[in-house]
Amino acid sequence: MSTPLLVERAGIVRGFNRFYTHQIGVLQEHLLQSDYSLTEIRVMYELSSRGDLTSADLCQMLSLDPGYLSRLTAGLEKNALIQKVRSATDARAVQLHLSDHGRAVLAPLEQRTQDEVIALLESLPEPQQRQLTEAMKRIQALLQGTAPSYLLRDPQPGDMGLVVQQQAALYAREYQWNWEFEALVAEIVAKYLREFDPTRERCWIAEKDGEVVGSVFVVRHDERTAKLRLLYVDASARGLGIGQRLVDECLRFARHAGYKRMMLWTMSALTDARKLYQKAGFALIEAEPTVSFGKELVSETWARDL
Given pLDDT bands bounded at 50, 70 and 90, which one contains residue 129?
confident
User: In this predicted structure, what is the pLDDT of residue 33?
Assistant: 67
**What's the CA gap between 166 and 146, in Å, rounded?**
29
Reported confidence tier of residue 202, pLDDT bands at 50, 70, 90:
very high
Position 123 pLDDT exceeds 60 = yes
Q: What pTM was computed for the model?
A: 0.56
Look over the chain and give the mean of its residue pLDDT values, rounded to a whole number. 88
For residue 89, pLDDT beyond 80: no
pLDDT, tens only, 148-178? 678 888 998 999 999 999 999 999 999 999 9
pLDDT at 217 over 90: yes
Supply φ then ψ for residue 30, to 5 degrees: -70, -35
Confidence of residue 205 (pLDDT cuts 50, 70, 90): very high
Per-residue confidence (pLDDT) for residue 27, from 0 to 100: 62
Of 43-47, 224-228, 239-243, give the range with the top mean pLDDT. Answer: 224-228
Q: How confident is the model at residue 147 (pLDDT cuts 50, 70, 90)?
A: low
Q: 30-72: per-residue pLDDT in tens? A: 565 677 888 888 899 888 888 888 888 888 888 889 899 999 9
Furthest-apart CA pair in the chain: how many Å? 79
pLDDT of residue 225: 95
Q: Per mean pLDDT, which of 21-35, 45-59, 223-237 is the most reliable?
A: 223-237
- CA dist list (Å): 95 to 47, 54, 68, 91, 216: 10, 4, 17, 10, 48
Domains for the chain: give ranges and CATH numbers: 34-123 (1.10.10.10), 151-305 (3.40.630.30)
In a 13 Å sphere around the CA of 27, the CA atoms on its Cβ side amount to: 17
Range of 118-132, 144-158, 178-192 with top mean pLDDT: 178-192
Please tell me the predicted confidence (pLDDT) of residue 30. Answer: 57
Distance CA 31, CA 113 (A): 8
pLDDT at 31 (0 to 100): 60
The confidence score (pLDDT) of residue 230 equals 95
Question: What pLDDT score does 146 carry?
Answer: 65
Return the half-sphere exposure (C-beta side, CA atoms, 13 A cut-off) of residue 62.
23
The angle at the Cα of 286, spanning 282 to 288, to the nearest 5 degrees, equals 135
* Helix runs in 151-280, H state only: 159-175, 179-195, 242-256, 271-279
Is a pLDDT exceeding 90 seen at residue 294? Answer: yes
Question: Residue 290 pLDDT > 60, yes or no?
Answer: yes
